[in-house]
Every structure is written in C-alpha cells, then in structure tokens.
Amino acid sequence: MDVIKEVRLMTEDEKLMADLSKYRQMALDMGAADARVFPTSNLVQGIRTRLAGCFFPRCPCLGLSMWCPPNWETPFELSQTIRDSYKYAIVFRGEIPPEIWTGPAAGSSRSGFLAAQVKVYGESWGEEAEEYWRKYAEDQHVTRQMVSFKEISASIMARARREGHPFAFHTSAGCCADKQCAPFGSVCVALRTGICRFPNDARPDGAGAMYYDWLRTLPSLGWQYTNVGWSVLPEDIQDRKPSPGITSIVFIE
C-alpha cells in the first residue's frame, strides 16, 4: 500500500524570507562588500540630506539627469509613504578607498566631472589644477572597483519581480548620467525627449532624491559612515576608512 506523504507548503512569510536571503547572496556574488536583509522601519529619512547631498556644496551632477534634483522631485512625505509600504529591503555596500572617491577626481576620468564643474560654476579650475586632477583620476581608475551598484540593485529588482515580487523597487547612490550614460558623454537624453536610455537601471539617488539619512541609519547595521565625494579631499579622511561609501537599497514586498 502506497503511503501518501504530507507536503507542507511554505507560508508567504517563509517564502519572502527565503527570497530575501537569496537576493542578499546575489548582491554579494555580484561584488558587494557586504549585504543585509534590512527592516525598512530602520531606514531613517531626513529633509536635510537633500541640502547636504545636492545643493550645499552644489553637486556637479545637479540637474544633469532626469532622476537627479531639481529635475526629479519627490515630496518628503511621499518618500516616507513609499518606505512604509515595504517591510523589508536588501541593503548592500561597497568598500571605497579614499584616494579614489574623494576630490574632484571622485567622478572618475570617464564621467567628465571636471567638465561638469565648468558648466556649474562657469569657470575652469585652471590648466594646472585640471591637469593634476585629470591625471589623478586616470591613475586611480585602474584600481577602481569595477562594479556598477546600480547594475546590482537593478538585477536584484528584475529577478525579484520575475519571482513573484512585482513591486520590488531599487534606488542607488550616485548620478545615473555619470554611470549609465558615461559612454555617451554623461548626457541625459531624457531631459530633452522624456525617454530614458536605461529605464530598468536609472533611479533617483537615495540621499538626494529620496532623503535617506545614512548617517543615522548605518549604525543599526554596524556600518561606519564616512562622507566622501568630490567636495572632500583625501587628506580630510586620511585616518578613517570610508566604509561603506556607496550604499544601495532594494525594497522587496
């Protein structure tokens, strides 16, 4: 007589946790230095991140992309509502050497940050300074971690949607015009046409457009926050390891 074995199906919560663990490993396999399953209730948002991250000092990417301020405007209350509509997210980070991700070379030689500075301020740094930072960027570019964090987060989002999480949504640090559109001269055609070249990858910057306050959020993950970017010089943080530096998040529900 055949014995019919009882088969227990996974509950919805069990499947979600299993998928979250899988997506966390996916981030690590694609090159993230660390990744965590993160309760979204621990994600702190603050209006001041927009000022510090985009306007003061003025980011060279400001206005260069349809996804960056002031072209992309997310009301603060709406950004909080979006966060609260999810229970969990995958948060991952990358290790960033200070000599690569500080100073005017922070955007890399490919992204044209020096040229962007001229557009923003209407004057050049001067031939000697521009030559120094351009060479600095080119020298450091060979050791730059060749991982697109927007590619990681977009890949996780796409897989999650295929596997039954249709509202998966990602945001990543940095200007998409500097990353995705670098081969095209960091020019965002969506500003003129309304059509993005990379609709699956390009998203609003986390701090500037979605108000993520990583300074108050990262301690809950055991991660240190160190400010990096074009307005910070290597000597400013020579005694501190800028970890995590780049932080991205994928909301899963």
CB 40 within 8 A of CB 84: yes
Cα–Cα distance between 156 and 23 in angstroms, integer? 6
205-130-239 Cα angle (round to 5): 65
Cα–Cα distance between 17 and 70 in angstroms, integer? 37
Cα–Cα distance between 149 and 31 in angstroms, integer? 9
Q: What is the pLDDT of residues 8-17, one digit of tens each?
A: 667 888 999 9
Q: What is the pLDDT of residues 15-26, one digit of tens each?
A: 999 999 999 999
Highest-confidence segment of 69-78, 94-103, 119-128, 143-152: 69-78
Cβ-based neighbour number of residue 89 at 10 Å: 26
Q: What is the pLDDT of residues 184-212, one digit of tens each?
A: 767 889 988 989 998 888 888 777 788 99
Reduced to 3 states, what is the DSSP secondary structure of residue 81? helix
The residue whose two tokens read 């160190």 is 226
Closest of 100, 80, 97, 89 to residue 221, by C-alpha: 89
Structure tokens of 79?
Answer: 């950004």
Please indicate whether residue 33 or residue 118 has the higher confidence score (pLDDT): 33
CA distances from 152 to 7, 27, 33, 172, 173 (A): 35, 6, 12, 9, 12
Highest-confidence segment of 1-10, 46-55, 180-189: 46-55
Cα–Cα distance between 6 and 33 in angstroms, integer? 41
Decide if pLDDT at 163 tops 70. yes
Q: What is the pLDDT of residues 108-136, one digit of tens each?
A: 443 455 555 565 555 666 677 667 666 66
pLDDT, average across residues 34-43? 95
Please indicate whether residue 1 or residue 139 has the higher confidence score (pLDDT): 139
Q: What is the pLDDT of residues 142-152, one digit of tens each?
A: 444 445 677 88
pLDDT at 68: 83
| Average pLDDT taken over every residue of the chain | 78
Decide if pLDDT at 57 tops 90. no
Please indicate whether residue 203 or residue 249 has the higher confidence score (pLDDT): 249
pLDDT at 144: 44
Reduced to 3 states, what is the DSSP secondary structure of residue 58? strand
Of the pLDDT bands very low, low, confident and very high (cuts 50, 70, 90), residue 161 is very high
Please indicate whether residue 51 or residue 212 has the higher confidence score (pLDDT): 212
Closest of 253, 196, 201, 232 to residue 96, by C-alpha: 232
CA distances from 146 to 31, 111, 117, 177, 230 (A): 9, 14, 24, 17, 19
- DSSP strand pairing (169-171 vs 88-94): unpaired
Please tell me the total number of residues recorded for the chain in this structure: 253
How is residue 69 annotated by DSSP? T
pLDDT at 109: 40
